[in-house]
């Protein structure tokens, strides 16, 4: 069984080689330096009561320190829970309440938001490590004050939860997915082998590291292979290709929205000159025109497939198949068990559409403190019901056909209509709310909220959007709010979301 401490192994094998570069600050850490700093953080966290089974929170953008925090947690048998640094206090309070971290690593500029969450921060600073400060609660000050040698055997364990990443289901409650060390280590090893990553591979981490794509698609596989990471704190279109070229990046992951914007950015036409091998597109289906746009520029944009609850990477295809079958996500990676089934769990015949189920060693351990939701998604046989409808062709290639669950993907991030509806209810006196998704050329999908006021007058839609923005991250805020007297119903009494979507057609045409 594999545990996830690949950093210790690489520090012994090639300690002097650069492991990661921060493209924002220019900081470079070798494998040996990363290893020593992770050891120092182990001592700091142990001194604050963090041990096996505990949770350490992370609220920051892409930074080298997150890699240190992850491997410190692995060695402690603890879990790193990553929260969206753009989240509102309302969103953070729900996720912090669910995971109850013993200590939180947070950027100084985000500390004020965290301070608005009741009961999180103590006055003695023992529950936080703050980045970018020289204060008594500073991260650098804390690890500089302890030894970087590990004074006890590692508590790394294959079955220990190494990380908690959040995903939106069809309920209003955020779901924290428990990722065990064996899942992360095994999938990283299989990915590194299948994608031929090695010591000479340089990978840019562009997507948020608190998201499954940024956290697992290429970061851990690259470290497993002994390659070099280039961290971009955030995606910036004007400088993106120049950064890729300056650091001689070969691979990168992004959602379709990122690659859409990158294709219109300066330097795109010359991107292939910089040594890019291929680019990975995931988080949502890749539009065919986007693939063709990159192909015309001499770049291979692959359609990836994975999810927080399994993988992170689940499928792959070679360069030839990517070019000849651009709409396919490819075939299953080694050790990934794939089934395409009807609602009753029975397999469909070849070529028919069904829901994709994932089994094997790369399946997560369920959701944090959510037994009913865990049973609904993971079933009783350990297979994950993905909610994705697929078709499998005669040679085993998978083709995405839509979603079976009531969620949508905006800018690569999953949005739960139920969560948005709850936030709208808390912002105004509403009798009913229904949020549906509409296609959008830039973001993939956007939310439209239909609201029925409990009593007139209703707050103006723009004021309601501003109010809900205080509670939700930007990608969750409805692009439009429509006031209606009633919501249409199906014969069974449920909200007829299809009718709501159809009702928007004349408004959009106009």
Residue pLDDT, tens place only, 307-333: 999 999 999 988 999 999 988 999 999
Both structure tokens of 399: 């083709």
- pLDDT band, very low/low/confident/very high, at 118 (cuts 50, 70, 90): confident
Distance CA 42, CA 151 (A): 10
Which run of H or E residues covers position 438? strand 430-440
- Asked if 349 contacts 228 with a C-beta cutoff of 8 angstroms, the reply is no
Distance CA 342, CA 347 (A): 6
Predicted TM-score (pTM) of this structure: 0.86
- Asked if 183 contacts 229 with a C-beta cutoff of 8 angstroms, the reply is no
Average pLDDT in the 141-159 region? 77
- Asked if 206 contacts 231 with a C-beta cutoff of 8 angstroms, the reply is no
Both structure tokens of 165: 């990443």
Distance CA 358, CA 335 (A): 10
Residue 450 has pLDDT above 70, yes or no: yes
45 phi, psi to nearest 5 deg:
-70, -40
* CB-based burial label for 10 (10 Å; 0-12, 13-18, 19+): buried
- pLDDT band, very low/low/confident/very high, at 72 (cuts 50, 70, 90): very high
In the block, residue with structure tokens 């999953």: 414
Distance CA 419, CA 428 (A): 15
Q: Per CATH, is 6-234 categorized as 1.10.10.10?
A: no
Q: Is 288 helix (H, G, I), strand (E, B) or coil?
A: helix
Which run of H or E residues covers position 228? strand 228-231
- Asked if 257 contacts 411 with a C-beta cutoff of 8 angstroms, the reply is yes
Distance CA 177, CA 204 (A): 25
- Asked if 437 contacts 192 with a C-beta cutoff of 8 angstroms, the reply is no
Q: Is 65 helix (H, G, I), strand (E, B) or coil?
A: helix
Distance CA 182, CA 253 (A): 23
Ramachandran region, residue 99 (left: φ > 0; alpha: ψ -120 to 50; beta: rest):
alpha
Both structure tokens of 505: 């057609």
Residue 374 CA, distance from chain mean position: 19
In the block, residue with structure tokens 């299953």: 332
Give the β-pairing of 228-231 and 202-205.
parallel
pLDDT number for residue 508: 55
Residue pLDDT, tens place only, 198-254: 999 999 999 999 999 999 999 999 999 999 999 999 999 999 999 999 999 999 999
Residue pLDDT, tens place only, 30-40: 999 999 999 99
Superfamily of domain 408-509: ANL, C-terminal domain (3.30.300.30)
Distance CA 315, CA 303 (A): 9
Distance CA 33, CA 30 (A): 5
Q: Rg of the chain over CA atoms, in angstroms?
A: 23
Q: Return the ∠ at Cα 474 (arms to 89 and 418), rounded to 5°.
A: 80
- Measuring CA to CA, which residue among 151, 164, 149, 9 is closest to residue 78? 164
CA torsion angle for 114, 312, 153, 104 (degrees, to 10)? 0
SS (H, E, C) 71-83: HHHHHHCCEEEEE
- Asked if 176 contacts 298 with a C-beta cutoff of 8 angstroms, the reply is no
- Measuring CA to CA, which residue among 241, 243, 242 is closest to residue 231? 243
Residue pLDDT, tens place only, 382-405: 899 998 889 999 999 999 887 777
Max CA pair span of the chain: 69
Give the β-pairing of 315-316 and 328-332.
antiparallel
pLDDT number for residue 310: 96
Q: Where are the beta strands (DSSP E) in 364-425?
A: 384-392, 398-403, 408-410, 413-415
Residue pLDDT, tens place only, 403-425: 777 778 898 888 888 789 888 98
Residue 152 has pLDDT above 50, yes or no: no
Both structure tokens of 423: 């936030």
Under CATH, what is the fold of the domain 306-403? Luciferase; domain 3 (2.30.38)
Ramachandran region, residue 475 (left: φ > 0; alpha: ψ -120 to 50; beta: rest):
alpha
% of the chain beyond a pLDDT of 90: 66
Distance CA 374, CA 239 (A): 42
- Decide if 306-403 and 408-509 have a common fold: no
Check residues 67 and 432 and name the one with the higher pLDDT. 67
- Measuring CA to CA, which residue among 356, 363, 339, 20 is closest to residue 159? 363
Enumerate the domain spans of the chain. 6-234, 306-403, 408-509
């Amino acid at each position: 069984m594999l545990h996830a401490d690949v950093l210790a192994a690489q520090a012994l094998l090639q300690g002097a080689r650069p492991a990661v570069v921060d493209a924002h600050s220019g900081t470079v850490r070798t494998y040996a330096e990363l290893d020593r700093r992770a050891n120092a953080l182990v001592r700091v966290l142990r001194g604050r009561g963090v041990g096996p089974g505990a949770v350490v929170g992370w609220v920051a953008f892409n930074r080298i320190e997150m890699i240190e925090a992850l491997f410190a947690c692995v060695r402690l048998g603890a879990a790193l829970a990553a929260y969206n640094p753009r989240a509102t206090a309302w969103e953070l309070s729900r996720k912090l309440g669910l995971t109850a971290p013993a200590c939180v690593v947070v950027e100084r500029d985000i500390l004020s938001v965290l301070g608005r969450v009741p009961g999180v921060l103590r006055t003695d600073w023992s529950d936080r490590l703050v980045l970018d400060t020289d204060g008594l609660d500073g991260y650098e000050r804390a690890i500089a004050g302890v030894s970087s040698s590990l004074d006890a055997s590692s508590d790394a364990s294959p079955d220990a939860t190494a990380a908690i990443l959040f995903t939106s289901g069809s309920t209003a409650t955020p779901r924290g997915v428990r990722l065990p060390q064996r899942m992360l280590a095994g999938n990283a090893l299989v990915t590194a082998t299948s994608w031929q990553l090695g010591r000479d591979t340089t990978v840019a981490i562009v997507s948020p590291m608190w998201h499954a794509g940024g956290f697992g698609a290429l970061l851990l596989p690259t470290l497993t292979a002994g390659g070099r990471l280039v961290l971009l704190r955030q995606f910036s279109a004007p400088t993106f290709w120049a950064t890729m070229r300056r650091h001689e990046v070969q691979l990168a992951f992004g959602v379709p929205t990122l690659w859409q914007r990158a294709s219109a950015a300066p330097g795109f036409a010359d991107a292939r000159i910089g040594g890019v091998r291929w680019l990975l597109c995931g988080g949502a289906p890749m539009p065919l025109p986007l693939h063709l746009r990159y192909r015309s520029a001499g770049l291979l944009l692959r359609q990836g497939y994975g999810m927080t609850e399994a993988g992170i990477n689940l499928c792959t295809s070679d360069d030839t198949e990517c070019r000849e079958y651009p709409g396919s996500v490819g075939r299953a990676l080694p050790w990934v068990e794939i089934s395409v089934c009807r609602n009753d769990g029975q397999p469909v015949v070849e070529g028919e559409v069904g829901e994709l189920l994932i089994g094997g060693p790369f399946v997560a351990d369920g959701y944090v403190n959510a037994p009913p939701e865990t049973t609904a998604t993971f079933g009783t046989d350990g297979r994950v019901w993905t909610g994705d409808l697929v078709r499998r062709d005669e040679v085993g290639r998978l083709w995405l056909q839509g979603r079976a669950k009531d969620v949508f993907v905006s800018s690569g991030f999953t949005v739960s209509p139920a969560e948005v509806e709850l936030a709208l209810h808390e912002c105004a006196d509403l009798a009913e709310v229904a949020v549906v998704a509409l296609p959008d050329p830039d973001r993939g999908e956007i939310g439209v909220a239909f609201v029925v006021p409990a009593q007139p007058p209703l707050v103006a839609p723009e004021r309601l959007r501003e109010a809900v923005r205080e509670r939700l991250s930007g990608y969750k805020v409805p692009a439009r709010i429509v006031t209606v007297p009633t919501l249409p119903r199906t014969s069974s009494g449920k909200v007829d979301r299809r009718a709501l979507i159809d009702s928007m057609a004349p408004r959009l045409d106009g």
